[in-house]
Amino acid sequence: MSDTKPKILLLGNIDHSDSESARLTVVSAHKDWESLSSLGELVKAESKDRESFIKDCKDGKYDGVVAAYRTFNSISMTGRFDEELVNALPKSWKYLSHNGAGYDQIDPEPCSKRDPPLFVSNVPTAVDDATADTAIFLMLGALRNYNPAIKALRQGHDPQGKVLGVLGMGGIGRNMSKKAAAFGMTTIYHNRRKLDDEKAGGAKYVSFEDLLKQSDVLSLNLPLSPKTKHIIGVEQLKMMKKSAIVVNTARGAVIDEAALVEALENSTIAGAGLDVFEEEPKIHPGLVKNENVFLLPHMGTWTQETQYKMERWVIDNVKSALEKGKLMSVIPEQESLQ
């Protein structure tokens, strides 16, 4: 039997160790990462771009990699985890631990079809508070029209008594709904499946069409996939109240951004609070110039505590893969495979 240690690959960077806050709370994702060296040889991916990453895979540079920690920004090195990329990976590579709740940069189908399958995990729940807080902040900012400050503050609206409509009532949607209740809002939601009463927490399940028609604030909290791309487009925006605002902390492409710009310019809806964009880091100029749009540069989870929780989660997935042969939070598409 070979005594070669399995390789554990880092695709991207681990951030949380040196900050003041990390020192104060005595947490360090770097130390957590280094602790994995008892399970395998830690290797950092150094390929220049997608082409050289694929070539390096084919030339054997990553042979022996069993599991990888992957960041959102590592897409600049590898590109999407699509069929071409997945099929170029060494056969030894079985686990991909992605740092993010949304894993739209990874195509589950080729990962599952590959022999052996490439099991993928994401980071659910750890993101809920920080992202829902961001959604609430965007909602208040857009409702109150804080953007043009004093001038428009006179025309601002209160959240009290308003209807929050959540599209995608998962971890973040439910967290936001609880927080919105503290502002005197009621929640309606649409989801692939109706939730049981305890999970719904008083929020009422409605059809997609009723969600659009009845919401004062439409919050998008569903994953981006080929099925949800542009789920909000010209027709859906037309169904909304003229006074409504859209809050998007999910992914830019769940809205047809050009249609949103037009709807805002034509006063089809009143405003938007956006953390995510179709072609990040680019932002549609029609959004930048519109005073009724409250913008953030994709920083839903950007707190010291949440970033650490996420990095730790990704490392725990790698650990679980190597110790137990199973990822801790495999993506739903692969639950029956693992």
Candidate list 98, 190, 251, 312, residue with the active-site label: 251
Is 190 one of the catalytic residues? no
- Tokens 């540079």, located at residue: 61
The least CB distance from residue 120 to ligand NAI, in Å, is 13
**Per CB under 6 A, 301 contacts ligand O=CC(=O)O:** yes
> Shortest Cβ contact with ligand O=CC(=O)O: which residue?
102
In whole angstroms, the minimum distance from the beta carbon of 64 to ligand NAI comes to: 32
124: contact with ligand O=CC(=O)O by CB under 6 A: no
Q: Determine if 168 is a binding residue for ligand NAI (CB under 6 A).
A: yes
What order do you get walking across the sheet with 119-121 strand by strand? 41-44, 7-11, 65-70, 95-98, 119-121
Interface pick for ligand O=CC(=O)O out of 8, 120, 127, 314 (rule CB under 6 A)? 127
Residues comprising the chain, all counted: 338
x-marked contacts with ligand NAI along 219-248 as a string, rule CB under 6 A:
--xxxx--xx--------------------
Contact between 273 and ligand NAI per CB under 6 A:
no
> 94-123: which residues touch ligand NAI (CB under 6 A)?
101-102
Identify whether the C-beta of residue 241 lies closer than 8 Å to the C-beta of residue 218: no
| Residue ranges in contact with ligand NAI by CB under 6 A | 101-102, 124, 127, 131, 167-173, 190-192, 221-224, 227-228, 249-251, 275-276, 298, 300-301
Query: Which residues does the annotation mark as catalytic?
Result: 251, 280, 298
| Residue ranges in contact with ligand O=CC(=O)O by CB under 6 A | 100-102, 127, 300-301
